[in-house]
Amino acid sequence: MSRIFINYRRADSEGHVGRIYDHLVQHFHADDIFADIESIKPGQDFLAVIEHAVAGCDVFLAIIGSQWHSMHDEQGRRRLDLWDDPVRLEIAAALKQDKIIIPVLVGKATMPHPETLPDDIRAFVRRQAVELTHQRFAFDVQKLIGAIRDAMPAQPSVKPRTDADTFIRKEAALKALRTRLIDATDSPLYANRVKNRYFPVLGSGNPDANLVFIGESPGKTEAETGVPFCGPSGAVLDEMLATIQLRRDDVFITNLLLDKPPEKREPTPAELMYYAPFVDQLIDIIQPGVLVALGRFAMAYLLRKLDLPEQRGKISDLHGKLIKAKMPYGDIHVVPLYHPAVVLYSATQKDVLMKDFQKLRLFI
């Protein structure tokens, strides 16, 4: 997948882009640097082609030369004002898709004033720019490379296949954890489990998954079967996974509470505290590169556990963000998503959830 997208205006900055590219290929794979969209075939929707190309990148570099802002076409119209200007369309797509955008100033250019830009790219000027000067080009470009590195996912998109021994060891460790959970007679939810002949729900899926999904608490269907997310919310989760060509067996699915609470209600602090060591251990066993929080409770738990600066943020602001974090076993991402149950109550949220799910493609 192309990871670094270079957006530029040929007549404005082609020479600079060549120099930047020469430096980037020393640090990133050439296949990961994407400077020109492949030719658009007759009949293709070029907007869709641009959106698709931008969707594939992690970092979007917008190269701004001294004429970026003012360049006109043969009829005297400013290029940026044309609705089909590719530079504008690409930046608009990157903003719409919430990409990490780094404006790169070359040839003594300065950031344009927001009022002078079309509406769909105005927000672009709020992005922190990196300036590449002629005199200190090599030094400045290192700064750019550092900024790109910070923005790229810390883990490789695809977790390398582990050897059979590791897989078997993880499977056995999860089995032992399940036994501990079955024996958790001091849990605040144990009495309810026994009274209703419910099963505890540790979770299910691939013991070596790169993606671990954490929901809130098992519902009635889950407690009756011991399988997480197998009721209506589970149907939504399956549908979302299918949009990124994943099946349950490719990931691991669990919850913050591993027993069903007596009524349909939010988890209590005591319940959350009781099950946290189980969830922590589960993560330590699987060692995923990505922790996907389904809903605000799982998000709050993970952001606090990892002591991340976003921990006071709301899910309405943080959903779909790829938040970097460190675990003792390596760098990871936390991705907060709305809980699949929101789709059951609000159909409009389905599009939001589906769009956020697409971000997970980077990790599969």
Is 12 an interacting residue with respect to ligand URA (CB under 6 A)?
Answer: no
Is 7 an interacting residue with respect to ligand URA (CB under 6 A)?
Answer: no
- To ligand URA, the closest distance from the beta carbon of 293 in angstroms equals 11
CB of 155 or CB of 233, closer to ligand URA: 233
Is 259 an interacting residue with respect to ligand URA (CB under 6 A)?
Answer: no
Q: Are strands 130-131 and 100-105 parallel, antiparallel or unpaired?
A: parallel
> Using the rule CB under 6 A, which residue among 207, 218, 261, 288 binds ligand URA?
218
Is 90 an interacting residue with respect to ligand URA (CB under 6 A)?
Answer: no
CB of 94 or CB of 174, closer to ligand URA: 174
Q: What angle do CA 226, 228, 232 make, to 5 degrees?
A: 115
Tokens 């000027």 appear where? Answer: 125
Is 140 an interacting residue with respect to ligand URA (CB under 6 A)?
Answer: no
CB of 218 or CB of 313, closer to ligand URA: 218
CB of 3 or CB of 319, closer to ligand URA: 319
Burial class (CB in 10 A: 0-12, 13-18, 19+), 10: exposed
Q: Which residues contact 63 (CB under 8 A, 6 or more apart)?
A: 6, 7, 8, 9, 12, 13, 16, 17, 20, 104, 106
Q: Where are the beta strands (DSSP E) in the chain?
A: 4-7, 33-34, 59-64, 100-105, 130-131, 204-205, 211-215, 252-255, 290-294, 323-327, 330-337
- The token pair that represents 291 in the structure block: 């922790």
CB of 7 or CB of 254, closer to ligand URA: 254
Is 207 an interacting residue with respect to ligand URA (CB under 6 A)?
Answer: no
CA distances from 90 to 60, 154, 222, 236, 337 (A): 9, 25, 44, 32, 26
> Using the rule CB under 6 A, which residue among 85, 90, 222, 259 binds ligand URA?
222
- To ligand URA, the closest distance from the beta carbon of 205 in angstroms equals 12
CA-based radius of gyration for the chain: 24
Is 216 an interacting residue with respect to ligand URA (CB under 6 A)?
Answer: yes
Is 213 an interacting residue with respect to ligand URA (CB under 6 A)?
Answer: no
Give CA–CA dist 288/156, Å, rounded. Answer: 12
Is 153 an interacting residue with respect to ligand URA (CB under 6 A)?
Answer: no
Site for ligand URA in 223-252 (CB under 6 A): 228-229, 231, 233
Is 203 an interacting residue with respect to ligand URA (CB under 6 A)?
Answer: no
Best CA proximity match to 117, nearest among 92, 144, 84: 92
Q: How many residues bind ligand URA (CB under 6 A)?
A: 11
Site for ligand URA in 93-112 (CB under 6 A): none
Give CA–CA dist 348/332, Å, rounded. Answer: 30
> Using the rule CB under 6 A, which residue among 65, 200, 219, 336 binds ligand URA?
219
Is 65 an interacting residue with respect to ligand URA (CB under 6 A)?
Answer: no
Is 255 an interacting residue with respect to ligand URA (CB under 6 A)?
Answer: yes
Q: Is residue 69 within 8 Å of residue 107, measured between CB atoms?
A: no
Residue 127: φ, ψ to 5°:
-75, 140
- The token pair that represents 252 in the structure block: 């691991």
Is 200 an interacting residue with respect to ligand URA (CB under 6 A)?
Answer: no
- To ligand URA, the closest distance from the beta carbon of 238 in angstroms equals 12
Residues in contact with ligand URA by CB under 6 A are: 215-219, 222, 228-229, 231, 233, 255
